[in-house]
Amino acid sequence: MGVRRTAAGNASALRRNSPEPYPPRSLEDFPNMDAMVNPAGPGADSLIDVGDLHFTVASQAGEVNILRGITLRIEEGEAVGVVGPSGSGKSTLMMLLGGLDRPTRGTVRVAGHDLGALDEDALARFRRDHVGIVFQSFHLVPTMTAEENVAIPLEFAGARDAFGRARAALESVGLGHRIRHYPAELSGGEQQRVALARAFVAEPAIILADEPTGNLDRATGAQVIELLFALRARHGTTLVLITHDPDLARRCGRIVSLADGRVVSDRPVLPEAA
Ligand X SMILES: Nc1ncnc2c1ncn2[C@@H]1O[C@H](COP(=O)(O)OP(=O)(O)OP(=O)(O)O)[C@@H](O)[C@H]1O
- Interface with ligand X (CB under 6 A): 57, 59, 64, 66, 84, 86-92
Using Cβ positions, the residue closest to Mg ion within the complex turns out to be 91
In sequence order, what are the residues at sequence separation of 6 or more whose Cβ sits closer than 8 angstroms to the Cβ of residue 220? Answer: 187, 188, 189, 213
Dihedral sign of CA atoms 208, 14, 39, 108 in order: negative
Q: Which does 109 bind (CB under 5 to 8 A by kind): Mg ion, ligand X, none?
A: none
E strands along 60-192, which residues? 62-74, 79-83, 105-110, 113-114, 131-134
Other Cβ atoms closer than 10 A to 7 = 11
Could you say which residues in the range 70-99 bind Mg ion, by CB under 5 A?
Answer: 91
136 binds Mg ion (CB under 5 A): no
Residue 256 touches which member of Mg ion, ligand X, none, C-beta under 5-8 Å by kind: none
Q: From residue 66, give the alpha-carbon distance in Å to each of 54, 70, 103, 157, 260.
A: 7, 11, 11, 33, 7
Phi and psi at residue 152, to the nearest 5° = -50, -55
- Whichever of 55 and 126 has its CB closer to ligand X, that residue is 55
Q: Which of 140, 263, 134, 102 is nearest to 210 (CA)?
A: 134
Q: How far is the CB of 83 from ligand X (least distance, A)?
A: 9
Closest to ligand X by CB, 64 vs 141, is 64
| Residue 15 touches which member of Mg ion, ligand X, none, C-beta under 5-8 Å by kind | none
User: Minimal distance in Å, beta carbon 68 to ligand X?
Assistant: 11
In angstroms, what is the minimal distance from the CB of 179 to ligand X?
Answer: 32
Q: Enumerate the β-bridge partners of residue 133.
A: 208
Write the binding mask 33 to 72 for Mg ion: x where contact by CB under 5 A, - elsewhere.
----------------------------------------
Write out the residues near Mg ion by the rule CB under 5 A: 91
